[in-house]
Each structure stands twice: as structure tokens, then as C-alpha cells.
Chain A
């Protein structure tokens, strides 16, 4: 192993420690990030990263380079249909008129958070959505709420026809989420390895296709963060290949949809 590779390995471990990203998935992107540098430069960069704080510009650039922003509106619509049909009405009833609090953990460029907002409006629920992501750039994009219908796998690939009413056209084939929907969602830069600040007691947490990027050990912290933001009765949505390894607070609500979990209320309600 050359000095440069050792530098990449050490940065990988550092990223895993700080942000929990699975080294197995980091490798290609990190190699690309280091690609144009000589072994000495790599070592220097690694040394810099080891001492620099997270707010450092190199760190920020590295984080942006490491994250995979794969998301689109109405992703895993089967699950969302169950949420709209069976879960939101129950949560609304339980909230006794108070607005629901939702948390979209790992919101990337915001499509999923806005999708939750659409669902709330579709089902006539009032509620607030907190959406968080590690990437400031993605969060900025999400706040803007402006999406382009570019060819290929764009954000609208699974959008139902009826949901177009939540968008307004802007010049250049761009579509912006309606202001009243954007007002329902607040965005925050947040590292899932730490608990949310200020603390939250969400009625529903959506953390889908986020934990797949975390290494096994760091998932312990992620799951702790999720539990910290939950209370008895909280519903948790996971991605298709994800499952909780370290906590048994959440259990699947039904066998038919094991990716929809909840914290059972005392008394088995």
C-alpha cells in the first residue's frame, strides 16, 4: 500500500467515525476525490482533515463529494399509500387536533420531505415537517424547492399526475413547490450520528434509504438518534432493504409491511 492509499484509508476511517458512512461505499468517491493528487498531497490532505473542524471548507467539499443524493417524489409509493390510508388518519385522531410533527431524516434535496407534505395535505392533516440532511448544498436546494424535468432519472419520475397541482412552473422547464407547501417544511443540516437539537418528539419519522449508507457500527448511533426523536406511538418508515439492528423499541405494525414500524403504545393500542 502506498502512502497515498494509506491516506485514503485513514480518511475513510475518519469519515466513518464522524459521519458513519460505510467505508465499503466510500471508496470510489473518495478515490475520485483524491484522484488528481500526488501521494504527498494526499498525505497532506489527510493530515489536514484529521485536524480540521467539520466547518472547514475541505471537509465541506469532501462531504458534498461523498453523499449520494438519490431521491425523487413519491418514492416507494406503495408504502406511502399505506401511510396515507391507514396511518395518518390514526395519528390525526390521536393528536386530538394538534398539528402532527413529522421528521424526514436524510432528506437529501427535499423531494421526500415535500412528498410527506403532499400526503398531509391529501389526507387533510395539519402538520409540520422537519427535514434534515448532512449536506448543506442539498439542504439549500431543498429549501429552494425548485426541480427540473431533466431527462433520465429526474425527481418527477414517479410523480402521480394529480400531484402536479402542488407545483408551479418557472422558466426553463423548472417546477417549484407551491409556497404554501414549502411553508410546511423546515430544513436543517444535521448529522444523524448525533441526536437532533432542539429535541423532537415526532409522530412519524421517515428515514428511508439513508441507513444503507452507514456502517454497521455507526447505525447504533443513528438508531439512537431515531429513538431519541420518538415517543410511544411514533411511526417509523424504513427503506426496503433496511432494518433496525440495535433497538427493539420499534416493531413492525403489520406483517404485510415490515418496513412500517411503530413504538407500541402502552396497552397495545
Chain B
């Protein structure tokens, strides 16, 4: 029950008690002081007032005496009359004071009686004394006043002074009594209060010592132990309901935290290592990894996650790097290819240009061929005519040759006759020679003739033979000529056929050439278009080349950027 009270409540109990006691004491003190005040008030209103009035009456009486003496001394009527008036007004002051004093201090009746006597005597004596003075009997007035007016004054004055002194003494005594009473009370109160406060303080001290300090000391010891790193202690305080319980529970938390801190402390190196890894990764080196072997708990998790992150970044960047390089290579290749295409397009353009030129030339050639074909056709017709005529001539020739052959045969017959004659002449010459020889000397001349005849016959025979040979030759030639002319005729006939065929062919060639010409001119148009297309392609390809070079540069820039990351 007590342990579950909060320290404040524990301390509030004695303090509250103390306050209650203080309040009670104060109340008592205040009541007593209030009573004392009232006592003093009544003192002031009765005894002290009475003393004051007594003194006042004494003064008035004394002044009245002095005024009366002044009046007696004055000789001028106006002077003593005025003084008498002042005396009267003084005397008028006595009655109300006397009455009040009578109320406040009835026990001073004797003294008051004396005052009344003095007043009455003075009031009674004043007018007669004044009358004497007015009658200028100054001696008589003085005597009269001394006998009647003044006689009661001194006892009254004395009585009043005495009363005042008595009242003064009574008041002083009452005050002293009252103060003593109060002092006594205060002393009692202080003593009682001190005792009570002492008891309460002792109680509070006990409470504090037992309920607060001791547990705090125990807790402090444990906290100190914990701060030293040793969390091995029991903590029954944690079950308390007061602040110390809260402290104990907090200490439990501290102990847990201390455990964690211990873990964290022991893991500081690990953290630094992980930090190093992160820093290195931040410096674009993605090959680093946190070594997980010597790590446990959340640090291992963090390490694993960082590894995952770095690994992911590494893979992504490596992938990007590979792809970027691939892109760079591809773009470079494409760039080269487009360059080649561009070059090819230019070559193609040139080639197409050459084709166009060739076509123009071939069209020209075709036109020429066509013209030539027409000419050839005409020539063919002419040739056909000529062949026809040739055939006729060949026939004529054949006939002539036939005639020549016939004539030759006749000549041959004649020649044979001549040859026979010559042969017989030769034999005759031989016979003549023989006969001449037998004739001897006379026959010598004849021998010569015979020899000459023989020679003639021989040459005739030779000539005839020659003629025969020639004629045979001529006959053979004629036969050959006939055969030849027949051949010529046949050839001419076949030539005529061929010429007409050729002529027909040439005509068809000419037609074909015309068609060809039309086709070629169309092709020419197409090729011109093609040239336009090729030229457009070439220009476009060049622009693409330029673009590809730019792309290649961009790819290279990107590759360089990615290459800043070191990956594995």
C-alpha cells in the first residue's frame, strides 16, 4: 500500500500535516491577536479616552484660571469683556467633557464632583466679578473672584490630574497584562508547533529515507552497474507503483537498450565497414560487397540488403553497360553500314547515270541499226534484182559455153585430121630422108628438105597436139564453165531466195528495232526516274549517315557515363 504511493504523495502527507498544524496555530494566533486588538481598542475607547478627557479638562480648567487672571488684570472694559467672553466659551467646553468622563469612568465620581463644583462656582462668580470690573472696582472684583470663582478650581484641577494619572496607570497595566497573555500564548504555540513540526519532519525524513532514498540508492547502484556495462541484477523495484517503480521499469528499458547499445557498440566496426561499402558504391564502385560471415542480427540484414542493392545496381548497370556498348557497337556498325549504303547509293547513282548514258547510246545505236536495216533492206531488194539478172547472165553464159564446147569438139576433130596429116607427113619425110640417103651425094639437099618437112610435120603435129590439148582444155573448161555457170545459176537462184529471205528478215529487224527503240526510250525514262530515286536515296542515306554519327557519339557519351561505374 505504502509502496504504491507516489513520492509526491508520500511527501505530501507530512507536508500536508505540517500545513494543517501551521494553519491551526495561525488560526489560534490570529484569534488571540484579534482578541488582544479588541482589548486594546476598548482600552483606547475607555481608559485612555478617559485619561485624555481628564487631561483635557485639566487643561481647560487651567486655561480658564489663566483667562480669569487675565481678565482681572485688564482695566479696559472692552478687553476684560472680551476675555470674559472667551472664558465663557472655555467654560462651555467643560460640561460635555465632564459628562463623557462620567460615562467612561463612573468610578471617578468624586473627581467629577470637584470639576462640577469648580465649573458652577466659576460660572456663578463670573458675572458678578465682571460687574465689579465694569464698575471699575478692580480690587473688589479680584477679591470676589478669588473668594468665589477660583476657590473650587485648584481642587478640581488636581483631581483631574490625579484621575488622569490613575487612568494612565490602569491602561498601562491592562496593556502589559494583555501583552503578557499574548506572549504566553505565542510561546506555547511555538513550543507546540516546534514539537509537532519535529515529529512531522521526523516522519517525513523516515518516509524519504525508507521510501525514497533507500530505493534510489539501490537503483543508483544498479544504474551505476548498468552504466559500467553490467546489466546482471534483479529489479524488484520495477513492480513498485511509485516513481521508483517507473524508474525501475525505465531502468529495465535502459537495460534492454544497453543490451542493444552493447550490440551496436560491438557492431560499430561492422557499421563502419558497411559505411565504407556504401561510400565506395557511392563512388561508382559497384564491385564491393558487405562480408556477411561475421555479422548477425539486423546488421547482417542491413548488410544483406545493401549487398542486394549494390548487386542490383551492379547488375543493372552492367546490363546497361553491356547494352550501351552493344548499342554503341551496333550504332557504329549501323553507322558504317549506312556509310556504305550511302557510298553504295552514290555508286548506284553513278551507275544508274552510266546506265542512262548507255541507254541513250544504245537507243542511238538502235536508231542507227534501224536505219541500217532499212538501208540493207533496200540494198537487198537491189541485190535480188541483181541476182535475178545474174541468173539470166549465167544462163546465157551456160549457153555460150555449150556453144564453145561444141565448137571445141569440131576443132578437135579438125585437129585430129591435121594431126593425122602431120603424122603421115612425118612418115613421108622419114621415107624421103631414107630415099635421099640412098641417093647419096645428090640426095643430100633432099635430105635437108626431108628433114625440114619432117620438122614441119613434127611442129604441125606438135601444134595440132597443142591445139588438141588447148581444145581439150577448152572443152574441159567449157564443161567446167558450163558446170560453173550452172552452179552460178543455181547459186544465183538460191541467192535470190536468200536475198528475199534476208530482205524479209531485215524488214522484220527494222520493225523490231523500231519497237526496241520505243522500249529503250521508255526504259530511258524509267532509268531517269530511277536515277532521281537513287539520288534521293543517296542524299537521304548521307543524312542518315550524319545522323548515325551523331547517334554513335551519343551512344559513346552514354557508354562513358556508364563506364564510370565499376561493375563486376
A70 touches B542 (CB 8 A): yes
Residues of A with C-beta under 8 A to B542? 25, 68, 70
A70 touches B554 (CB 8 A): no
Interchain CB contact under 8 A, A68 and B532: no
Q: How far is the CA of A240 from the CA of B547 in the complex (A)?
A: 8
Which residue of A28, A69, A70, A242 contacts B346 across the interface (Cβ within 8 Å)? Answer: A28
Q: Is A188 an interface residue (CB 8 A)?
A: no
A28-B346, A151-B532 are contacts. A70–B550 as well, Cβ < 8 Å?
no
Q: Which residues of B contact A165 (CB under 8 A)?
A: none
Contact between A209 and B547, CB atoms less than 8 A apart = yes
> In angstroms, how far is the closest chain B Cβ from the Cβ of A70?
4
Cα–Cα, bound, A28→B342 (Å): 9
Within the complex, what minimum Cβ distance (angstroms) separates B330 from chain A?
15
Q: Is residue B543 within 8 Å, beta carbon to beta carbon, of the partner chain?
A: yes
In Å, the complex CA distance between A209 and B551 comes to 12
* B 539-555 to A, binary, CB cutoff 8 A, 1 in contact else 0: 11011011111110010
Residues of B within 8 Å of A209, CB to CB, are 543, 546-547
Chain B residues near A28 (CB, 8 Å)?
342-343, 346
- Report chain B residues within 8 Å CB of A212: 543, 546-547, 549-550
A190-223: contact bitstring with B at CB < 8 Å (1 yes, 0 no)?
Answer: 0000000000000000000100110000000000
Q: Mark A130-155, 1 if CB is under 8 A from B, else 0.
A: 00000000000000000000111110
Is B533 engaged at the interface, CB distance under 8 Å to the other chain?
yes
Chain A residues with a Cβ closer than 8 Å to the other chain, count: 21
CB contact under 8 A between A154 and B546, given known A32-B346, A241-B554, A243-B554? no
Which residue on A lies nearest to B549, using beta carbons?
A24
Complex Cα distance A151/B529, Å? 6
User: Of residues 48 to 103 in A, which have CB atoms within 8 Å of B's CB atoms?
Assistant: 68-70
For B274-291 the 0/1 string (1 means CB < 8 A from A) is 000000000000000000
User: CB distance A239 to B547 under 8 Å?
Assistant: yes
| Interfacial chain B residues near A43, Cβ < 8 Å | none
Contacts of B546 in A (CB 8 A): 22, 25, 68, 209, 212-213
Contact status A154-B549, CB under 8 Å: no
Can you name the residue of chain B whose Cβ is closest to the Cβ of A240?
A: B547
Given contacts A25-B542, A28-B342, contact A152 B547 (CB under 8 A): no
In the assembly, what is the distance between CA of A22 and CA of B545, in Å? 12
- The verdict on B536 contacting chain A, using a C-beta distance below 8 Å, is yes
Q: CB < 8 Å: which of A32, A68, A69, A151 contacts B533?
A: A151
Find chain B residues with CB under 8 A from A25 CB. Answer: 542, 545-546, 549
Our count of residue pairs bridging A and B at CB distance below 8 angstroms stands at 56
Min CB distance A116 to B, Å, is: 19
Q: A22-B546, A25-B545, A28-B346 are in contact. Are A154 and B536 (CB under 8 A)?
A: yes
CB-nearest residue of chain A to B544? A70
Select A153's contact among B537, B547, B549, beta carbons within 8 Å. B537
Given contacts A22-B546, A241-B547, contact A153 B346 (CB under 8 A): no
Residues of B within 8 A of A70 (CB): 539-540, 542-543
Cβ contact of B529, chosen from A32, A69, A150, cutoff 8 A? A150
The residue of chain B having its C-beta at the shortest distance from the C-beta of A214 within the complex is B546
Q: For the complex formed, measure the closest distance between the CB of B152 and the CB atoms of chain A, giving whole angstroms.
A: 116
* B532: A residues at CB distance < 8 A: 150-152
By beta carbon, the residue of chain B nearest A157 is B536
**How far is A265 from B342 in the complex, measured between Cα atoms in Å?**
42
> Which residue of B343, B533, B548, B549 contacts A152 across the interface (Cβ within 8 Å)?
B533
CB distance from A223 to the nearest CB of B (A): 14
A32 (CB) vs chain B CBs: closest residue: B346
Q: For residue A153, which residue of chain B has the nearest CB? A: B536
CB distance from B527 to the nearest CB of A (A): 12
- Minimum Cβ distance to chain B for residue A22 (Å): 7
Contacts of A239 in B (CB 8 A): 547
* A28-B343, A70-B543, A151-B529 as given contacts; A241 in contact with B551, CB under 8 Å: yes
Q: How far is the CA of A209 from the CA of B543 in the complex (A)?
A: 8
Residues of A within 8 A of B529 (CB): 150-152
Q: A152-B533, A241-B554 are in contact. Are A22 and B543 (CB under 8 A)?
A: no
A118 to chain B, nearest CB (A): 22
Query: What string of 1s and 0s marks CB contacts (under 8 Å) between B331-361 and chain A?
Result: 0000000000011001000000000000000
A32 to B542 alpha-carbon distance, docked (Å):
14
Minimal Cβ-Cβ distance residue in A for B532: A150
Q: Provide the residues of chain B in CB contact with A32, threshold 8 Å.
A: 346
Interfacial chain A residues near B540, Cβ < 8 Å: 70, 153
Query: By the criterion CB–CB under 8 Å, are B539 and A242 in contact?
Result: no
Q: How many Å from the CB of A97 to the closest CB on chain B?
A: 39
Residues in chain B near residue A22, CB distance under 8 A: 546, 549
Task: Give bound CA distance, A153 to B534, whole Å.
Answer: 9
Q: Is the CB of A242 within 8 A of B550?
A: yes
Q: How far, in whole Å, are A10 and B115 apart by their CA atoms in the complex?
A: 155
Shortest Cβ distance from A212 into B: residue: B546
Q: Complex Cα distance A160/B347, Å?
A: 33
Q: Which residue of B lies closest to A71 (CB)?
A: B543
Q: Name the residue on B nearest A242 (C-beta).
A: B550
Chain B residues with Cβ under 8 A from A24's Cβ?
549
Which residues of B pack against A, CB within 8 Å?
342-343, 346, 529, 532-534, 536-537, 539-540, 542-543, 545-551, 554
Q: Would you list the 5 A-B pairs with minimal beta carbon distance, nearest first?
A: A152-B533, A153-B536, A241-B550, A70-B543, A212-B546
A-B contact list, 6 entries, CB within 8 Å: A22-B546, A70-B539, A150-B532, A152-B532, A153-B536, A209-B543
Known: A32-B346, A150-B532. 12 other contacts (CB 8 A): A25-B545, A25-B549, A68-B542, A68-B543, A70-B542, A151-B533, A152-B534, A153-B536, A153-B537, A153-B539, A212-B550, A239-B547
